[in-house]
Amino acid sequence: MRVLFCILSLFVAFNLFGKEINVTYPTGMFHLQLIVMRKKGLLQKEFAKDGVKIKFHDITNGLEQARAASDGKIDVCASLNTTSIITAAGQNIKLSIIRAVSNPTNTLALLTLKPNIKSVKDLKGKSVACIRGGTFHQLLLEALAKNNMNIKDVNYLPMSISQTYSAMLDGKVDAAVLTITQMLDAKKRGARVLTTAKGLMRPKLVVAVSKSFAKNHPDWVKRYIKVQDEAMEFIKNHKREALELAAKDLGISYQDAEWLYNNTKLINTLNRDDIKSLRKDIDFLYQQKLIPRKVNILSKGAGIEIAFKNFVKDQISLCAVSNK
């Protein structure tokens, strides 16, 4: 019996050794829970006791995050916009949302440095840059649609966030969709906000994993959720320290970090309004031909065995993407 116990112990140790969880950590983003989880070592400590390492990856583009998860290169997309999840679903990439992060409605904006551009309507025939396929892209399309325009009415230039920011500052584009640090810096350099997401759409950042990861590692999913809940509690009880961590991580002032906090609604679950907006997003993205067909992003019973303890009548903490 003792020999068998030793063999089993060695087997467990062998299987845990070298295990790691690959988590995205998009730099330049105000995902306060994730910043606290990393900088306070909460996530690392939770899994260190089992010999499981946490490896962070800087992937800012939402669709690239989804593809990396689908390919098995990423286990947890720790701050992913739902527009990218919907777009990925249209490409047969299926993800499960295990937690919500925030509703950054006021921190996503369409800006310009051009004095002759006073409103979105003035963008007709002008060059506009932003990431293709995610929340940035959706904001641009929503802003144009509200002004009876479409993407063909502007010279749309798809670029990464850093490229978009540089192009606007260098005068290579007339307007750009920016968020967080780039938006704050652009405003200090004289950029004017043509519109934010408020009144146009409801941005939703969430935590998502591949279906295979959710199926193979349900305990890891539960523990990740537990750690994010701990981070939310830390933010509640130690707001100043949390914002100081964010300011240092983003390279901004404490005052800017506080402004971001006051203009970003941190959440753990998607409420009824979020769910309604998801359905509207799907319809809009289909109309704009960003997805080839309408997808169902809240398939019944998906992942219910993993973490539905916070499910109530108008909230959901775990849902999945499917094409059914």
Looking at the structure, tell me whether residues 140 and 24 fall in a common domain: no
- pLDDT, tens digit (0-9, with 9 covering 90-100), for 208-229: 998 889 889 989 999 999 999 9
> Where residue 298 falls among pLDDT bands split at 50, 70, 90?
low
Query: For residue 17, what pLDDT is reported?
Result: 46
**28 with 168, same domain?**
no
Instruction: Among 11-20, 74-83, 104-113, name the one with the lowest average pLDDT.
Output: 11-20
Residue 134 sits in the same domain as residue 149: yes
Q: The tokens 């919907």 sit on which residue?
A: 86
Confidence of residue 8 (pLDDT cuts 50, 70, 90): very low
Q: What average pLDDT is seen over the chain?
A: 86
User: 168: which 2 tokens?
Assistant: 């606007």
CATH classification of the domain holding 142:
3.40.190.10
Local confidence band at 294 (pLDDT 50, 70, 90 cut-offs): confident
Contact 236, 33 (CB under 8 A): no
Give yes or no: residues 285 and 154 share one domain.
no
Percent of the residues in the chain that have a pLDDT greater than 90, as a whole number: 69
Query: What is the greatest pairwise CA distance in the chain?
Result: 83
Q: Which among 165, 196, 227 is the end of a domain?
A: 196
pTM here is 0.86
Shared-domain flag, residues 152 and 283: no
- Residues 170-180: tens digit of each pLDDT: 999 999 999 88
For residue 117, the model assigns a pLDDT of 96
Residue 291 or 305, more confident: 291
The arithmetic mean of pLDDT across residues 39-43, rounded, is: 97
| Last residue in a domain, options 196, 223, 246 | 196
Same domain, 16 and 88: yes
For the ranges 7-16, 34-43, 175-184, the lowest mean pLDDT is seen at 7-16
Same domain, 48 and 118: no
The answer to whether 231 and 39 have CB atoms below 8 angstroms apart is no
16: pLDDT confidence band, cut at 50, 70 and 90? very low
Q: Please say if the pLDDT value at position 308 is more than 60.
A: no
If one counts the domains in the chain, the total is: 2
**Domain co-membership, 215 together with 175:** no
- pLDDT value, residue 35: 97
Confidence of residue 276 (pLDDT cuts 50, 70, 90): confident
What's the half-sphere exposure (Cβ side, CA atoms, 13 Å) at 165? 15
Q: What is the pLDDT of residues 133-167, one digit of tens each?
A: 899 999 999 999 999 999 999 999 999 888 999 99
Domain span at residue 236?
2-104+203-320
Residue 12 pLDDT exceeds 80: no
